[in-house]
């Protein structure tokens, strides 16, 4: 039940701003505050390579302190924590905010100090399994599942961003190819009926080429948009 509730909540969560921060960041630095969190950071680093996004993961506090010193406002820091309340974690988060570096927090609790310091947050619950009377095991599978759903959301966001630019180019090409022929039609009429000897030049072949390019880009973008809309994505990604 915990798994289903958390997955359904995150699937419906608006991650547009988180995806924008990841897309526009020059560099992305991951930091896990513990052993399990470091494992999640490494897996997140590996997964986002498939989306063409390189993330840097540093183990240990010393390396992360150097990272904060080198990072700037054009970078992005993603901190993965359980409670979001440890003193060292909050100290790092305050340093990050003092330098105006964007910060995303991934924690298991919705109300914690790290979330309040971050620009955006992702909540990943955990389940506790009692192994014996004095021992228990806290699962981290939800962290891995939610980071994978985030990857899918990012891929869709990235494709839509790239589609928007090519669509603008296609629209400009189609408009250009529609306006220029009108001008050359008037010039051609002047040659026939007005006795003008002005040459049509290369304008007509150019506008035909622009029209063809605009049609090709429009058709291609339409197909890509259908593929990233979720309905036509096959396999596990489509089910997510």
| Residue pLDDT, tens place only, 65-85 | 999 999 999 999 999 998 899
**Mean per-residue pLDDT, 221-225:** 50
Distance between CA atoms of 146 and 84, rounded to whole angstroms? Answer: 17
**Would you say the C-alpha torsion 231, 233, 236, 237 has a positive or negative sign?**
negative
Other Cβ atoms within 10 Å of 159 Cβ, number: 17
Global pTM value = 0.68
CA angle 102, 108, 110 (to 5 degrees): 75
DSSP state of 135: -
Residue 194 has pLDDT above 60, yes or no: no
pLDDT digits 0-9 by tens, 141-193: 888 888 888 999 999 999 888 876 656 666 666 566 566 566 656 665 566 56
> How many whole angstroms separate alpha carbon 7 and alpha carbon 13?
10
CA separation, residue 169 to residues 4, 178, 207, 213 (Å):
42, 14, 14, 9
Confidence at 221, pLDDT banded by 50, 70, 90:
low
């Amino acid at each position: 039940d915990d798994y289903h509730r958390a997955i359904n909540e995150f699937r419906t969560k608006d991650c547009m701003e988180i995806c924008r921060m990841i897309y526009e960041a020059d560099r992305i630095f991951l930091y896990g505050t513990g052993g399990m969190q470091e494992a999640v950071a490494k897996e997140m680093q590996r997964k986002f390579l498939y989306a063409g996004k390189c993330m840097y993961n540093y183990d240990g506090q010393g390396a992360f302190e150097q990272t904060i010193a080198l990072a700037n406002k054009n970078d992005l820091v993603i901190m993965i924590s359980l409670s979001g309340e440890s003193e060292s974690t909050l100290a790092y988060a305050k340093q990050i905010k003092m330098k105006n570096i964007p910060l995303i927090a991934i924690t298991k609790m919705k109300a914690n100090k790290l979330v309040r310091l971050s620009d955006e947050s992702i909540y990943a619950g955990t389940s506790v399994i009692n192994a014996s009377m004095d021992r228990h095991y806290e699962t981290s599978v939800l962290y891995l599942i939610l980071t994978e759903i985030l990857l899918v959301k990012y891929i869709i966001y990235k494709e839509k961003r790239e589609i928007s630019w090519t669509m603008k180019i296609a629209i400009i090409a189609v408009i250009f190819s529609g306006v220029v022929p009108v001008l050359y039609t008037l010039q051609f009429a002047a040659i026939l009926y007005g006795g003008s000897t002005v040459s049509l030049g290369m304008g007509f072949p150019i506008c035909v080429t622009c029209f063809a390019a605009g049609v090709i880009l429009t058709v291609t973008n339409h197909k890509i948009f259908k593929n990233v809309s979720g309905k036509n994505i096959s396999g596990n990604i489509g089910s997510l």
